[in-house]
Amino acid sequence: MLINRREILQTTTIGTASLALTPSFNHLRAAPGLATDGKPHRFVFIRKSNGNLTRQFGLPSFSSQELKKHEEKQAFEVDLAGHELPDWLQGLDGHKENMTILHGISMSVSGGGHYSYSGCMGAYKAGRDILSNIKWATVDFELAKLFPSPFGHVEMSLAVPHGRDHRTGIVSGYSAPAAKQRNYCYADPMTAHQELFKSVTNTNEAASDKALLDYLHQQENRRLKGLDGDERLKISDQIESLQSIRDRNTKVASLGDRIIQHLPEIDPVHAGGGEDATLPQKQAAFTDVIVGALASGLTNVVTYTIDDLGTDITSLPENKQKTSIHQIGHGGQIAGAAAMRNAIKAHHIKQIKTLVTRLKAIPEGKGTMFDNTTIIYMPETGAGHHGPDTEAPMVLMTGKNSRLDIAGRYIRLPFHGTEGHKTLSNWYTTLLNAYGNPIKHYGDLDLTMQRNRLDQTGAIDRFLV
């Protein structure tokens, strides 16, 4: 359902919803502080559909011994500097020193199948997209708490749910700030541009929003008088959330010059929801918005669903058969399914290259913005269209100030259900521990690991600096 920004604000006055439970604002209350070097670390999670076939993540220059280990899913690692990348990944060939190809992390805790919904970001089985299935805050929201910013966490999506052919505006997202709470996301680049940068692009609307927020804050304060018990707590939460939005807008206003400096241009083809824009145009526009939002300091954490099974790929130039992501997943239904998988990934990698090169071009401290950035390109469901979820190959790009010791390597971890195997929960625990959250274990436990009585809690210590 499309959500109008003003309708979200006005829900406080009609009692049908509570801003205290509105994900986009609730997280603004937590602000532990910046990194020790005074610069925030930034995270970009890029979710893709249809899984990642493990054979497409092997290196064509593997020795016969390395290829054997890869095919037999044995643990090993090699230096990427001495190897050739797969064709679809060669767009990042000039940045291999920052790259990690990570094999062996399982996603059984969140499940395979067509969709994982909130599960792949929270390391739990979310099943259908139902609020009661959201167990806790997803990892991107937890990281956003560690590096606070005016918008906190920002979510963007090119996902198209069943029964739709297009989505625009502000819609429900997949990340979550807390149990049984769903985030919102921007479903088209123009909406993201207008909402994130309106403090400098639409000052009249920004002033109107401020007046509305001030009015609602005063109105809720008046309602608070004479109330007690649960009703008083509810209104107090709403007042607190309204104040959080007002505080956010004040912080955004203070970034005016920086926002102007990094304000992205957006092609008019994206006006009105961008129904005439091709998929590559949409992806490129979202990338521009992400760079602008990070560089201007509006956010330090972005989650971007770059496609799902319903995303229209007929505008990809390689898609001569005008097939769908879903048909490609089933493979046998079309010729050249593997080649189309690689073409889709190559378009994704093109956007990652843009993120890396542009962030490397922006000075920060004694280096660049990319030095303090981690990009994680990951499958939503595992190693294929219907899984298996025992593997989830991913590509990471990490700057030189990363607190993970993984850059420049192809790493295959022990396979699922064996000694030393690491789950999605271990991986997210590692990210959180590395950047300031000492949680002992984030996410659900894996049933196979439990049955085999294998240790599966905690961070991946070898990855920590």
pLDDT digits (tens, 9 = 90+) for 105-133: 999 999 877 889 999 999 999 977 678 89
Segment 293-313 shows an average pLDDT of 95
Alpha-carbon gap, residue 304 to 187, rounded angstroms: 10
Categorize the per-residue pLDDT at 8 as very low, low, confident or very high, splitting at 50, 70 and 90.
very low
pLDDT digits (tens, 9 = 90+) for 88-106: 999 999 999 999 999 999 9
Categorize the per-residue pLDDT at 162 as very low, low, confident or very high, splitting at 50, 70 and 90.
low
Categorize the per-residue pLDDT at 201 as very low, low, confident or very high, splitting at 50, 70 and 90.
confident
- Residue 82: its pLDDT value, please? 93
3-state SS, residue 309: coil
Per-residue pLDDT for 367 more than 90?
A: yes
Segment 158-173 shows an average pLDDT of 82
Segment 384-411 shows an average pLDDT of 95
Segment 3-9 shows an average pLDDT of 48
Per-residue pLDDT for 346 more than 70?
A: yes
- Residue 128: its pLDDT value, please? 75
pLDDT digits (tens, 9 = 90+) for 374-397: 999 999 999 988 889 999 999 999
Categorize the per-residue pLDDT at 330 as very low, low, confident or very high, splitting at 50, 70 and 90.
confident
Categorize the per-residue pLDDT at 442 as very low, low, confident or very high, splitting at 50, 70 and 90.
very high
Per-residue pLDDT for 271 more than 70?
A: yes
pLDDT digits (tens, 9 = 90+) for 35-82: 446 899 999 999 999 999 999 999 999 999 999 999 999 999 999 999
| Two tokens, residue 410 | 């192809």
CA distances (Å), origin 356, targets 140, 341, 372: 19, 23, 11
pLDDT digits (tens, 9 = 90+) for 15-31: 323 333 333 444 444 34
Alpha-carbon gap, residue 325 to 311, rounded angstroms: 7
Element at 64 (helix H, strand E): helix 64-71
> Using an 8 Å Cβ cutoff, are 239 and 221 in contact?
yes
More confident residue, 253 or 220: 253
Return the beta strands (E) in 357-408 as ranges: 363-364, 367-368, 373-379, 394-398
Alpha-carbon gap, residue 255 to 164, rounded angstroms: 37
Segment 402-418 shows an average pLDDT of 97
Segment 239-256 shows an average pLDDT of 66
> Using an 8 Å Cβ cutoff, are 56 and 391 in contact?
no
Of 86-95, 326-335, 347-356, 375-384, the range with the lowest mean pLDDT is: 326-335
Mean pLDDT rounded to a whole number for the chain = 86
Categorize the per-residue pLDDT at 207 as very low, low, confident or very high, splitting at 50, 70 and 90.
low
Per-residue pLDDT for 210 more than 70?
A: no
Per-residue pLDDT for 418 more than 80?
A: yes
Placement of tokens 């940045």 in the chain: 95
- Residue 213: its pLDDT value, please? 45
Residue 264's beta-bridge partner residues? none
> Using an 8 Å Cβ cutoff, are 335 and 80 in contact?
no
Alpha-carbon gap, residue 384 to 341, rounded angstroms: 11
- Residue 130: its pLDDT value, please? 79
> Using an 8 Å Cβ cutoff, are 12 and 220 in contact?
yes
What lies within 8 Å, CB to CB, of 20 at 6+ separation is 26, 234, 237, 238, 240, 241
Q: What is the pTM of this model?
A: 0.88
Per-residue pLDDT for 245 more than 70?
A: no
- Residue 254: its pLDDT value, please? 74
Segment 147-173 shows an average pLDDT of 87
CA distances (Å), origin 424, targets 243, 381, 416: 36, 11, 11
- Residue 10: its pLDDT value, please? 45
417: left (phi over 0), alpha (psi -120 to 50) or beta: left
Per-residue pLDDT for 286 more than 50?
A: yes
